[in-house]
């Protein structure tokens, strides 16, 4: 019988894993246990503080359902989703920069013809914008038939699943690039909005003197056969929260201008945004 001490407990817990543990699980869990224990030793965590942490997570669990994931919010305001994203997307690579997926993506958005609007309520959803560009590979060759999944909030800053006043799948759609790799999406000019802050993640923001806002953005996930899936966003260049995004997801190269559109386009604004995808083989080598 070995009595645990502040010094030896980490190895004892790691050694409790049996040989059946998969190598990757062993690696990840050993790292997690080591860092958690080092953290507790470093800050001399008290029992009351540990209980506070458990209560924080318990409240997060009680608030989480299929429309609201408090754990993703906690992870995001602590920079974890952006960090994991940055680990797998080296900024030096010749590929459009990625940005967090966030908790509001939904599978199964309607597939729409190029140029159609995702705003089911028309101008009630906000000022119209045409987002257009070319999808190419990292040699500049067009990528036809790529699927671009877009979603954004309405003018009140809520995604449709948060807002009983919006129709199902409002402000969501999937579009295909054409033979030249060109895509055209009609959306609305996005607004900055606060991430939900009536739970433990909001408490943490308040306790640390932070606001909950995200700068105005449109989400985009782009998939094409033979290419690495790209999870990204575009940001409005005039937004006041670009420098203080509550989830640390803004990248300079994803900031775009919402330019007043020429009359013949039939929309209020136009955004030009080309996208470069990395082919799967290149992604695997990296």
Binding footprint of ligand BEZ on the chain (CB under 6 A): 73, 76, 100, 102-104, 195, 214, 247
Q: Which residue, 249 or 275, has its beta carbon nearer to ligand BEZ?
A: 249
Q: Which residue, 221 or 267, has its beta carbon nearer to ligand BEZ?
A: 221
Which residue in the shown chain puts its C-beta closest to ligand BEZ? Answer: 102
Q: Which residue, 77 or 146, has its beta carbon nearer to ligand BEZ?
A: 77
Per-residue burial over 171-184, b if 16 or more Cβ lie within 10 Å, else e, is: bbbbbbbbeebebb
Q: Which residue, 104 or 227, has its beta carbon nearer to ligand BEZ?
A: 104
Q: Which residue, 45 or 101, has its beta carbon nearer to ligand BEZ?
A: 101
Cα angle 171, 173, 178; round to 5: 140
Q: Is 157 left (phi over 0), alpha (psi -120 to 50) or beta?
A: left
Dihedral through CA 67, CA 71, CA 72, CA 76, nearest 10? 140
Least spacing, CB of residue 19 vs ligand BEZ, in Å: 39
Least spacing, CB of residue 101 vs ligand BEZ, in Å: 7
With contact defined as beta carbons under 8 Å apart, do 216 and 192 qualify? yes
Helices (H), the chain: 9-15, 23-43, 47-63, 70-77, 80-88, 200-207, 280-285
Least spacing, CB of residue 72 vs ligand BEZ, in Å: 6
Q: Which residue, 158 or 265, has its beta carbon nearer to ligand BEZ?
A: 158
Least spacing, CB of residue 89 vs ligand BEZ, in Å: 16
Least spacing, CB of residue 197 vs ligand BEZ, in Å: 10
In angstroms, the CA 233 to CA 248 distance is 12
In angstroms, the CA 92 to CA 286 distance is 11
Least spacing, CB of residue 224 vs ligand BEZ, in Å: 23
DSSP codes joined into one string, 153-171: --TTS--GGG-TTSPTTTT
């Amino acid at each position: 019988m070995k009595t645990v001490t502040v010094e030896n407990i980490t190895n004892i817990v790691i050694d409790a894993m049996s040989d059946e543990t998969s190598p990757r699980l062993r690696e990840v869990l050993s790292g997690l246990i080591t860092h958690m224990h080092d953290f507790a030793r470093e800050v001399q965590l008290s029992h009351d503080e540990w209980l506070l942490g458990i209560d924080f997570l318990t409240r997060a669990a009680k608030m989480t359902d299929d429309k609201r994931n408090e754990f993703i919010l906690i992870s995001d305001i602590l920079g974890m989703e952006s960090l994991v994203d940055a680990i797998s997307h080296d900024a030096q690579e010749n590929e459009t920069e990625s940005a967090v997926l966030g908790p509001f993506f939904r599978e199964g958005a309607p597939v729409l013809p190029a140029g159609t609007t995702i705003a089911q309520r028309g101008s009630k959803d906000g000022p119209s914008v045409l987002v257009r560009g070319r999808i190419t590979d990292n040699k500049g060759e067009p990528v036809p038939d790529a699927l671009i999944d877009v979603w954004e909030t309405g003018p009140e800053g809520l995604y449709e699943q948060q807002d009983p006043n919006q129709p199902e799948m409002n402000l969501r759609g999937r579009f295909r690039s054409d033979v030249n790799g060109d895509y055209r999406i009609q959306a609305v000019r996005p607004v900055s909005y606060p991430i939900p802050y009536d739970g433990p993640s909001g408490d943490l923001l308040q306790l640390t003197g932070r606001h909950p806002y995200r700068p105005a953005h449109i989400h985009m996930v782009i998939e094409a056969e033979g290419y690495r899936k790209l999870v990204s966003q575009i940001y409005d260049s005039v937004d006041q929260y670009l420098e203080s995004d509550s989830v640390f997801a803004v990248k300079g190269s994803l900031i775009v201008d919402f330019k007043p559109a020429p009359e013949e386009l039939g929309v209020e604004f136009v955004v030009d945004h080309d996208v470069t995808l990395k082919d799967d083989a290149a992604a695997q080598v990296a």
